[in-house]
Amino acid sequence: MGSMVKDPVDYVNPYIGSIGHLLTATSPVVMLPHSMAQVSPIFTPGITDTYLADKIYGFPIGACAVMPVVGSNCKETHVSKYASGFDHDFETATPYYYSVLLEDYDITTEYTVSYHSIYYRFIFPASDNANILVYTLDSGELEVVNPNVIRGYGILKGVKCYLHMEFSKPIREYITYEEGIVKPRAVKVEGREVGFSIGYEISEGECIELKVGLSYINTDQAYQNLMNEMTGWEFTDIKNKARDIWNRAFRSIEVKGGTEKQRTIFYTALYRTMTRMVNVTEYGRYYSNYDKEVHDCQGYDFYVNDGIWDTYRCMHPLQLLIDSKRQLDMIQSYLHIYENTGWLPTFPHLDRDYDIMIGNHAAAFITDVYMKGYKNFDVEKAYEAMKKNAMECTKLPWRKGPLTELDRIYLEKGFFPALDKGEKETVEEVHPFERRQSVSVTLEWCYDEWCIAQMAKALNKQEDYEYFMKRAQNYKNLYNKEIGFMAPKNVEGNWVEDFDPKLGGGLGGRDYTTECNSWVYTFHVQHDIEGLIQLMGGKKKFAEKLDALFTEQYDGAKYRFLGQFPDSTGLIGQYAHGNEPSFHIPYLYNYAGQPWKTQRLVRKIMDIWYGDGPLGICGDEDGGAMSAWFVFSAMGFYPVCPGKPVYDIGSPIFEEVRIHMDYDKIFTIKAVNVSNKNKYIQAAEINGKPLDKPWFTHEDMVDGGMLILYMGPKPNKLWGI
């Protein structure tokens, strides 16, 4: 690609976003794309901004941990107290390799990974009392099998993670821990905070290596996983192999041009989008905690760890471009969970599906994949699952289960009811903290029901199509023309009195909205933007409302606003880029006949709210969702409405982007004369033909092709309108 002077992986800084703007920060995770083995230092408990942690307390091996120490007989205190200070200037963090100097002990710790295995190196100072602590993070069982091997398991959240550990140097001696304190020596220990302190006599600079195979099936499989991936003691080979795997993954999207900083943000963002979902398949088999069984793979790998409220918007669509087979496997994994729980999941993790957030967005994920032409999954089962969630599952936030009286009102009247101001909650199923979120629940379910309608139409279920298309219009029931915002209605269908679109709804707006206020949620009609424009009185008024969103202030101190809406970071006016419901809004000017405003705005967001340091992510990273927005926008387009095989054009920051569609077909985006100032599209071509609209289709991309955008310093207000 010409201008790339480093390999893509060399641009990645895993500490980007490791200081949160208000809430959750990132960690410097070493793993392979979507891999089961994941390692990040165990930093000082309670310090959530990982970059600011003062100590390292150990390093994870599944549901257990290791920590090298010297100069202590390890009998004086609790096993978890052997922490060490460290300095970022004596640390290397990459996606495939990590190294740090543990200053209190003068020990250098390094590690790298494969898909199911971790490889550690501990380089010690001279000591006749060097130790490697091995212990369970919660509970479990560990056994010294022979002088070089420890096996067993740790339990976290009710799931056993088995391990097989091999040491390069035979164990000279060891002591036993139970509940974190020294107990009489035993070969096998079982219970809470159990483990061993392994003692060595070490010469200056001597290295002890440790390889760990992980499994959710059993210890024999953990051993087999290790043998499949790390047979010898060749740390550098494993490290280089991991580096090559990341480079191959990153070369699915090659960029030319841009600044060093922009390439750093871009490839770090791409790295984050490849950390979820996690493939827990182990060479043809997988353990599912949803039915407590070990399964033979039936043509697909099993994936867990998703937050679909965040990831359906742009992370799954991004992953679909570069590896559609993986997305199909993820859908099959969702259907496995549905078959065992009765519901399509919302936050499916290894141990269980967490009933987090709102909506039926698995329907959006599945519909988007299907409508883009990828159909190799159990489509009828998927439709059955979507429809069951829509018809039989409560819409209450942070809940799963049968319909409540509030759901019946939604089905009868077409909106989810809110409480009047000061009215006490009487519906016992309502989450005491998450509340009803009535406006957001209505809007997000309308979109999901539009997705179900698209699937119904594709599957020739005409009656279902008409029914769900009618429900998809329910958003109109909550648009209050008098105030110009989406607003809550009570059980009787009357507007809640004295509703404040900016500050209404208490903490996070949760009486009415989800983490953002009605300024943001008024635009949450991805599936029928034309209908929303009509509600607002036409394109001119719609554009004026968008303009106001990006300039409206806080009615007082900003800290008070953020105190009420802590998820609403990355603010530009009332627009909150730090939370996912905002993501599509900058692209809505394309629908208002003013695409140059989208071009200007997405550049502004990329410049202001994404950086190459610890403060570089403006909100909760949400497992790659925040990063996926940047990857798409930096390339120059974005999926405003998953389920429609269409991408809206923004303003790319690179001269050229090459997307390897499923690794073989190449779709190229060329931005001629692009620069910081040349952010506006003057003209465009797609696959050799003039393009006069600010969007293109998935079909335009799927067999490869080229989008050419001619850029300039001033808006061409005639293009794309």
What is the greatest pairwise CA distance in the chain? 82
Q: Residue 288 pLDDT more than 60?
A: yes
What is the pLDDT, as a whole number, of residue 248? Answer: 97
Tokens for 519?
């300024």
Q: Residue 65 pLDDT more than 70?
A: yes
Q: Are strands 285-288 and 293-296 parallel, antiparallel or unpaired?
A: antiparallel
Q: Is the dihedral of CA 12, 18, 22, 24 positive or negative?
A: positive
What is the pLDDT, as a whole number, of residue 182? Answer: 87
What is the pLDDT, as a whole number, of residue 180? Answer: 84
Q: Which tens digit of pLDDT belongs to each residue from 389-439?
A: 999 999 999 999 999 999 999 999 999 999 999 999 999 999 999 999 999
Q: What letter would DSSP give residue 273?
A: H
Please report where in the chains the tokens 């699952």 appear, as a residue: 385
d(CA 538, CA 543): 9
Q: What letter would DSSP give residue 9?
A: G
Q: What is the 3-state secondary structure (H, E, C) of 511-560?
A: CCCCCCCHHHHCCCCHHHHHHHHHHCCCHHHHHHHHHHHCCCCCCCCHHH
Residue 70 has φ and ψ, to the nearest 5°, of -140, 165
d(CA 697, CA 240): 38
274: preceding bond cis by omega (within 30 degrees): no
Residue 657 has φ and ψ, to the nearest 5°, of -130, 135
Q: Tell me which H or E stretch contains 51.
A: none
At 548, the amino acid letter reads A
Helical pair 539-549 and 595-609, crossing angle rounded to 10 deg: 10
Q: Which tens digit of pLDDT belongs to each residue from 605-664?
A: 999 999 999 999 999 999 899 999 999 999 999 999 999 999 999 999 999 999 999 878
Q: Which tens digit of pLDDT belongs to each residue from 156-206?
A: 999 999 999 999 999 989 999 999 888 889 999 999 999 999 999 999 999
d(CA 552, CA 572): 8
Q: What domains, with CATH codes, occur in the chain? A: 8-250 (2.70.98.10), 306-712 (3.30.2080.10)
**Percent of all residues in the chain with a pLDDT value above 90, rounded to a whole number:** 96
Mean pLDDT of the chain: 96
User: What value, to the nearest 5°, has the Cα angle with vertex 246 and ends 653 and 703?
Assistant: 60
pLDDT (average), residues 117-122: 98
Please report where in the chains the tokens 């519901």 appear, as a residue: 343
Q: Where are the alpha helices (DSSP H) in 274-421?
A: 308-311, 315-322, 324-341, 362-371, 379-392, 405-413
Q: Which tens digit of pLDDT belongs to each residue from 559-574?
A: 999 999 999 999 999 9
Confidence label for 71 from pLDDT (cuts 50, 70 and 90)? confident
At 96, the amino acid letter reads Y
Task: Tell me if residue 666 falls in helix, strand or coil.
Answer: strand
User: What value, to the nearest 5°, has the Cα angle with vertex 301 and ends 300 and 303?
Assistant: 130
Q: Residue 17 pLDDT more than 60?
A: yes
Q: Which tens digit of pLDDT belongs to each residue from 24-38?
A: 999 999 999 999 999
Confidence label for 671 from pLDDT (cuts 50, 70 and 90)? very high
Q: Residue 558 pLDDT more than 50?
A: yes
Please report where in the chains the tokens 């419901």 appear, as a residue: 581
Q: What letter would DSSP give residue 30?
A: B
What is the pLDDT, as a whole number, of residue 72? Answer: 66
User: What value, to the nearest 5°, has the Cα angle with vertex 347 and ends 344 and 353?
Assistant: 70
What is the pLDDT, as a whole number, of residue 1? Answer: 47
Mind giving me the DSSP string for 122-159? Answer: EEPPSEEEEEEEEEESSEEEEEEEETTEEEEEEEETTE
Q: Give every CB contact of residue 500 below 8 A, 6+ residues apart in sequence.
A: none
pLDDT (average), residues 322-329: 97
What is the pLDDT, as a whole number, of residue 78? Answer: 75
Residue 4 has φ and ψ, to the nearest 5°, of -75, 110
Please report where in the chains the tokens 């905690």 appear, as a residue: 289
What is the pLDDT, as a whole number, of residue 80? Answer: 73
Q: How distant is the alpha carbon of residue 94 from its chain centre?
A: 19
- Could you tell me if 683 and 719 are in contact, meaning their C-beta atoms sit under 8 angstroms apart? yes
**Residue in 341, 372, 374, 345 with CA at minimum distance from that of residue 359:** 345
Q: Tell me which H or E stretch contains 38.
A: none
What is the pLDDT, as a whole number, of residue 276? Answer: 95
Confidence label for 75 from pLDDT (cuts 50, 70 and 90)? low
Q: In sequence order, what are the beta bridge partners of 685?
A: 690, 708
What is the pLDDT, as a whole number, of residue 184? Answer: 86
- Count of CB atoms situated within 10 Å of the CB of 131: 26
Q: Which tens digit of pLDDT belongs to each residue from 231-280?
A: 999 999 999 999 999 999 999 999 999 999 999 999 999 999 999 999 99
Task: Tell me if residue 376 falls in helix, strand or coil.
Answer: coil
